Chain A
Amino acid sequence: MSQSGDALVKLEGVYKHFPIKQGIFFKKEVGRVHAVDGVDLEVRRGETLGIVGESGCGKSTLARCITGLHPITKGRILFEGQDIGRSPGKAFRRDVQMIFQDPYGSLNPRRRVGSIIGDPFDIHGTASGAERKRRVQELMELVGLNPEHFNRFPAEFSGGQRQRIGVARALALKPKLIVCDEPVSALDVSIQAQVINLLKDLQDELGLTYIFIAHDLSVVRYVSNRVAVMYLGKIAEGAEGEELYERPRHPYTNALLSAASVADPDAAEKRERIVLIGDVPSPIKPPSGCRFHPRCPKAQETCVGEVPVLIARAGDPADHVTACHFPVEAGEHLAREQAAIEQLSTEPTLPSA
């Protein structure tokens, strides 16, 4: 996104395409899912970078590219200045960890919690026997679990506690970067806040860097220093957190913010909801030009033909970048705008009330 600060991770033109193959014996590529389609991003040491977007925007794939779970199709991922290449080494595996969305799916149900958290020590051969047990119990204590429960099975814990187990496992090797993929979206509201507080405390205590991926805007706003908005494999807008939430430039960011639910009746009634047309198009055949143009209330001919670049727009701070030909100006009422082109989308506008 921008060039300042001490970059821990740097993504340069990262692409990840999944081929779609058909055929019984001789599989032929019939198409590609453009999951991540040219992403430049920088994560600074000690910060939390939030990535928001709707399902299918490629945010989870991007997370898995950064942790080295998916080899990337094109581009470079630099970790502390080193290209991690197609198969990252053990040192990288130690430094970069991941916290998963599903507290039920991310823990092997047949193993005791102690061995799950101790896994990293075994794999990297850093501790064994009594030392390993001691470190596991330390970790459990650190994330707010009763260390005496190390012999229990995941099924004996509730959702929030399981997520803590996942956090403990991620912390075992003292990583520098933790990629959190929707870490709280499977949890009940009252439990979400517990886990978010835990992540924040750990960051302060251990000086961690987070990439925090979520679809819930208010959670991302709360945890992140900087936020990037993804749409169909590309970054639509990126900025320092408050800046993005207060002065969103990309029409998609505006729509996303206006659609977020607010637990405040007055605020909810007052806001102007920008109701977008239709659903997110298929990433197999992304729209031409600006990918948002079929749903964008400001779309014009230019948007169909030209891909907008991700740069700082007039009047914005240098690290507020927007990929839009016609960024939203202050005081503009997007909810009332009409696109200048005929929009070819899966669904037409709602019949007006």
Chain B
Amino acid sequence: MSLLEVHDLKVSFDTSDGVVKAVRGVSFSVDRGQTLGIVGESGSGKSVSTQTLLGLTGGARIEGRALFEGQDLLTMSEDHLRRIRGKEIAMIFQDPLSSLHPLYKVGRQIVEMIRQHEPEVTKQQARKRAVELLGMVGIPQPDQRVDDYPHQFSGGMRQRAMIAMALSLNPKLIVADEPTTALDATVQAQILDLMLRLQREFDSALIMITHDLGVIADLADNVLVMYGGKPVEQADRRSLYYRPHHPYTKGLLESIPGSSGAKDRLKPIPGQPPSLINPPTGCTFHPRCPYIMDRCVTDEPQLRPVLDADGGTNPNHRSACWLPIEAIGLKPEAEGIRQEAVAVGRTTATNITTQGAEAQ
């Protein structure tokens, strides 16, 4: 059994405009020492799914199971969840200011965090640990900076302080929601380096949520790609980057301006993200998919294993797409397989949907 196992999680919100189906059935698991990357664009449900695990989505309708060391986080009492949150599972947010209290000294916040979960620790001990942690995440003169207020820290330092706080109780699982999106490239590099190193040191599990495939390219063991509240592809890192199966994953990779410097025209994904109130029928991605077939409009594809590089099916690489399981990667052969499938699977009627999408 894995440290965290999420089964068929569904989250929806009632709004005056209708029911927003933010997450529509996602499953994943993560083990100690492992990093899971969850990738998706705005509205893909990537943040909502993990916030739900920690009981941070008030007012939502939640279905499914999320077993943390065998205990279901979704049915747990508020008190029990509060004990787990922080101690066993820590969260790092995009905006550190939202989780550091502006009126308390950084050190005091860490001390209180420790003492709340481990009442037997004395104030002096907790403070000593806070200083150690701040030093560990690279805050200079931690014994002095421990008495600073959050606004006295720079953006990068606040993010480090957040990480120190998240690590203060040696959690088994760290959930980082776009931890570097608000930071500049050079600072982002520092923080990613730090997180990777600390995760190894503490042997915790890490879930890294991001919209940027570049951020997790050298970080994640496994990657889950979400689109419109559903998982569309799940794979180990290499398979995902080099042998994507789902047209959305492929599109995401292809729409990144090549670092090779090739001046070819970019290949954007046409159209706009889906509505979460009235999601498209069948495959959620079909209105934007260049490989749309008749059944994509009517039947909803489920995740299924696709072919591996060596020709066997890979149970760890799964994709929710009706294209043949051998249509993997960005190579011309794979493109041939796709076109063949489309030629058989598409009648003229469905063709209209994607027409002119590029010009949109």
Contact = CB atoms under 8 A, between A and B. Distances in A.
Interface residues of A, number: 53
A219 B259 CA distance: 9
A206 interface: no
Interface string B237-251: 110011000000001
B270 interface: yes
Interface in B168-188: 184-188
B256 A350 contact: no
B19 interface: no
B154 A279 contact: yes
Contacts of B212: 189, 261
Contacts of B325: none
Given A160-B272, A189-B213, A351 B259 contact: no
Interface in A115-151: 144
A69 interface: no
A192 B261 contact: no
B217 interface: yes
Interface of A: 54-55, 144, 158, 160-161, 188-194, 196-197, 200, 215, 217-219, 221-223, 241-242, 245-246, 255-256, 258-265, 267-269, 273, 275-276, 278-280, 346-351, 353
B138 A190 contact: no
Scoring B154, B185, B252, B268 by chain A CB atoms within 10 A of each residue's CB, the highest score goes to B185
A347 B140 contact: yes
Closest 10 A/B residue pairs (Cβ): A261-B214, A193-B268, A222-B257, A268-B218, A54-B184, A190-B269, A259-B189, A193-B255, A188-B41, A194-B268
B336 interface: no
A242 B261 contact: yes
B155 A265 contact: no
A205 to B, nearest CB: 14
A222 B263 contact: yes
A154 to B, nearest CB: 14
B266 A264 contact: no
Contact of A256 (B186, B238, B272): B186
Nearest to A194: B268
B267 interface: yes
A218 B238 contact: no
A263 B253 contact: yes
A165 B118 CA distance: 55
Scoring B188, B213, B256 by chain A CB atoms within 10 A of each residue's CB, the highest score goes to B256
Nearest to A260: B185
B15 interface: no
A55 B184 contact: yes
B184 A191 contact: no
Given A218-B256, A261-B212, A350-B194, A279 B270 contact: no
A241 B262 CA distance: 12
A349 B135 CA distance: 11
Given A263-B217, A346-B140, 15 more contacts: A158-B273, A193-B269, A196-B257, A218-B259, A245-B261, A256-B185, A261-B185, A262-B259, A263-B256, A265-B242, A275-B186, A278-B154, A279-B187, A280-B184, A351-B135
Contacts of A267: 217, 259
B211 interface: yes
B190 interface: yes
B217 A265 contact: yes
B138 A189 contact: no
